Amino acid sequence: MTFRRLFERGRGPWLAIVALATLALGARAARVGIEHDNASLNAVDAGQRRVYDEFKATFGNDEDLLLALDHPALLDGRGLALVDTVTRALAALDGVRRVWSLTTAEELTAGASGAEPRPLVSPPWDAPDVRMRAVAALDRTPDLTGWLVSADRCTAGLVIELEERPGDVEYRTRIIGAVRALMVRYGRDGVTLHLTGVPVQKHDVAAYVDRDQRLLLPLAIVVLGATLAAFFRRPAGVLVPLGVAALTVVWTTGVYAWSGHALNAITSLLPPVLLVVALAASVHVYEMWRAAADTDGVGRALAAVRAIVVPAGLCAITTSQGFASLAVSDIPAVEQFGLFAAVGTAIAFLLGMTAAPAVLSWLRPPARSGTEHGATLWLLDTTSRLATRRPGAVLVVFGIVTLLATAAIPRIRANTDLVGFLRADAPLRVDTSWIDAHLGGTLPLDFVLRRRDGGPIRALDAYRRLGALEEAIRARPHVATVTSVLAVVRQVHRAESGGALALPDDDATLGDELDLIEESGHALVGRFAGPELRALRVTARLRAVGTAESAPLVEAIVADAARILGPAYSLVPTGALYHVVHDSTRLVHQQVASFATAIVLVVLAIGLLFRSLTFTVLALIPNVMPILWTGGLMGAAGIELSTGTAMIASAVLGLVVDDTIYYLAHYRHAYRGDAASAIHATARAVGAPITAASVSLVLGFWVGAFGSFKPTIYFSLLTGLTMITGVVCDLLVLPASLVVAERMGRARARPVTAP
């Protein structure tokens, strides 16, 4: 049976299979979940995970909510009464373990048997001396400033401890919704309330992912449809490529959901990215089908497939390799994005080479007209003329731009700022900035202090050293407050001895006071001291900064600890914020590894296809150049390397190289001993679909600019921009390089034959 007969007989059943698979995978895709805890944005590091798990087992959940209440007369009766009311309302919420506020905090005072806890402030709130008592109590307990009250005493902080409910993904959503309802209810008459905290970050990110899903995909479909309509001006020219792209999205999302994954801030980009990436092959198939000389539908469809299958296959391989190279990341979200984008690219190739021609074989091709792609052809003729007549000038100009861009690349800094990722008007970002400016630091950076021999920390010398360490940390930039069990020890000693807020003078007294602290069973002690005082928690609250600032700060604090505490003790950073810091510092190394992997794989693929070192080198020049330009732009414009932008180079390499492959494949076919003629012919033959596919890709990527997260916005904008510069390089640098190479006698083409 000939291939033609096989195609004729099999196209109907194959489309039926495609339809059934689409139904099955579509049902899965419709149920794809959304990740609620951002867990996949943290790197998989067993060592860090173990330390963090131990930390949580010892000190409890470190993911608190922080509600700031700003009142025109906070310490007067009305202000404290409102703090009390809101505190009680928060404490009554299901899933809230405890609320720390001015009206629940205690101070230690001298009682008949020694130190006794007493409420910091107490009702009646309308007593005439309530303000005086509150001011005096806060003066006696300076450790609360920056935590439960601002330095100007106009803003109260309410720290909401949540229960740990691993199996319940919704209770945080309910709590945050209820807290925000309280903020609306009580935020009047000059009172404002502001909410921040890691759980809010997680909640809002999940909500934005959901929102982006509902916005970006339809928007991408509209943009791509309009672009295809503008190029092909035929319904089939829109529906066939768009149909293949839509099926690719459905299949890939279905497989993604089937494998047990939920969408996160990074993989939420998969559907729009795949929609865009999947267009390329079917756009080329459509263009070749339209340009084919055969008169019958099946012949034209097969001719189109024959003309395109090799370069399209290679493009699918290189694009998949680009995405798959992201799998070297140990951030699960990036790894998932890379792997499933690679899977989607393979699906797009399969459907583009089978389903698209099957549908086209039943359609009547449009009559050719001389005005098709008029503007595009003029542009292609102009660029090929410029490249062939002045190749040296083209290479020098582009080389200079590349050198300048490369010089700016070292200015790129790795920075992850989870709140800063949000748009400027996002409620969480507004609230976090407000709390940061008015109450104190919003980012809790935790450390665990231990004796290296594992023993209990009971020596007076250790607590004196801890005090010195607190001072050193407090003196560091970006640190708002530092808290540890030391604050409790000093209070106990004052209450026991009647002296000042200080440490005792001898080990025996400290021992007794530590016994008292341990046996108190007080929740605040459990927050800062582990069982038998074998682990102490030190929390530095940082101003709202990114990892570019917090990563060196962590290093500096650990160095301070080594110097001040001495070799007998260790201070280990941990906690939710440290995870982000830790991951960010690894991002640059992973970016280099991922890009190197992508380059090697792409070089191998091109080398295998063309079997020419010269062509492989020539193919790399117009593809590495735009990536260096984008890197230079990031460095010059201060765009930071983060989870999203780190994916650009690897992902875009696999995409921009596609145009080069189509170009070179046709060039070798058209080469008859004269590079300039072959370049002109190639530009006219593949220039239009390259331009159509690229413009579609660029506009499709730019739809991501309407997303909610800066990393994905930058990823979308910069990937699109890199693709534009990639096309420019393909149309100018590549032909100029071919001409120069020919003149140097190195480029001698060998025909590429389709199977």
Partner 1 sequence: MCRASVLIMLLALRGEGRCADGLPPALLEAGADQVVARTDVPDAMRKVGEVRLVRRGVAVVVQTLLATKVLPRVVAEIGKKEAGNWPPGAAGREDMERYVAAIERAAGALRAARDERQDGDRRVRMVIELVATPEVAGLMVGTFGGTEVDGTLQPTERRPLETMALRKTYVFRNMRLILADAFHVPEGEVDRLGPLGPIAGP
| Binding-site ranges for partner 1 (CB under 8 A) | 112-114, 455-456, 511-512, 515-516, 518-522
> Is residue 33 classed as helix, strand or coil in its secondary structure?
coil
The secondary element (H helix, E strand) that includes residue 355 is helix 332-360
Q: Which residue carries 């030190």 as its tokens?
A: 538
CB of 515 to partner 1, least distance (A): 4
Minimum CB distance to partner 1 smaller for 530 or for 720:
530
Given the complex with partner 1, which of 106 and 512 has the nearer CB atom? 512
Helices (H), 671-709: 675-702
- Look at residues 197, 594, 661, 606 and name the one whose alpha carbon lies nearest to residue 432: 197
If the CB atoms of residues 296 and 519 are measured against partner 1, the closer one turns out to be: 519
| Residue 540 host element (H or E) | strand 535-542
Residues 6+ apart with CB under 8 A from 121: 80, 102, 103, 130, 133, 134, 137
The set of residues, in sequence order, having a beta carbon less than 8 Å from that of 245 and lying 6+ positions away, is 224, 274, 275, 276, 278, 279, 282, 348
Q: Among residues 173 and 497, whose Cβ is nearest to partner 1?
A: 497
Contact 146, 68 (CB under 8 A): no
What's the min distance (Å) between Cβ of 520 and partner 1? 6
The CB-of-514 to partner 1 minimum distance in angstroms stands at 8
Of 180 and 522, which CB lies nearer to partner 1 in the complex structure?
Answer: 522
Min separation Cβ 449 and partner 1, Å: 19
| Nearest approach, Cβ of residue 168 and partner 1 (Å) | 25
Least separation in angstroms between CB 158 and partner 1? 22
Question: First-to-last CA distance in the chain?
Answer: 17
Task: Kindly provide the b/e burial profile for residues 665-683, where b requires at least 16 CB atoms within 10 angstroms of the residue's own CB.
Answer: bbbbbbbeeebbebbbbbb
Crossing angle of helices 710-743/613-637, nearest 10°? 140
Q: On the CB side of 314, how many CA atoms lie within 13 Å of its CA? A: 25
- In 3D space, the residue among 387, 454, 433 whose CA is nearest the CA of residue 196 turns out to be 433
Nearer to partner 1, 166 or 521 (CB): 521
Provide the β-strand partners of residue 110.
Answer: 115
The burial class, CB within 10 Å (0-12 / 13-18 / 19+), for 41 is buried
Shortest separation between residue 459's beta carbon and partner 1, angstroms: 13
Cα separation, 626 vs 444, whole angstroms: 40
Least distance in angstroms from the C-beta of 161 to partner 1: 15
Whichever of 168 and 515 has its CB closer to partner 1, that residue is: 515
CB of residue 456 vs partner 1: minimum separation in angstroms? 7
The distance of closest approach from Cβ of residue 113 to partner 1 in the complex, given in angstroms and rounded to an integer, is 5
Shortest approach of partner 1 to residue 121 CB, angstroms? Answer: 23
DSSP E strands, 55-105? 65-70, 96-100
Query: By CB neighbour count within 10 A (0-12 exposed, 13-18 middle, 19+ buried), where does 453 fall?
Result: exposed
CB of 213 to partner 1, least distance (A): 46
| Rounded distance between C-alpha atoms, residue 714 and residue 704, angstroms | 8
| CB of residue 117 to partner 1, shortest distance in Å | 11
- Residues 626 and 399 sit within 8 Å (Cβ to Cβ): no
Token reading at 40: 């996949």
Closer Cβ to partner 1, 33 or 111, answer by number: 111
Q: Compute the least distance from the CB of residue 521 to partner 1, in Å.
A: 4
Max distance between CA atoms of the chain, in angstroms, equals 106
Nearer of residues 393 and 523 to partner 1, judged by Cβ: 523
Question: What span, in angstroms and rounded, lies between the C-alpha atoms of 405 and 524?
Answer: 54
Toward partner 1, which CB reaches closer, 173 or 520?
520
Closest to partner 1 by CB, 372 vs 512, is 512
Nearer to partner 1, 309 or 517 (CB): 517
Closest CA to 309 of 343, 358, 349, 356: 349
Strands 192-196 and 443-451 turn out to be: unpaired
Nearer to partner 1, 173 or 509 (CB): 509
Residue 124: is the preceding peptide bond cis (ω within 30°)?
A: yes
Compare residues 7 and 100 and give the one whose CB is closer to partner 1: 100
Number of continuous H segments (helices) and E segments (strands) in the chain? 24, 10
Identify the residue whose tokens are 């080479």: 353
Q: How far is the CB of 596 from partner 1 (least distance, A)?
A: 53
Q: Please, which residue, 82 or 105, has the CB nearer to partner 1? A: 105
Q: Please give the structure tokens belonging to residue 35.
A: 């990740």
**Could you give the CA distance from residue 115 to residue 588 in angstroms, rounded to a whole number?**
52
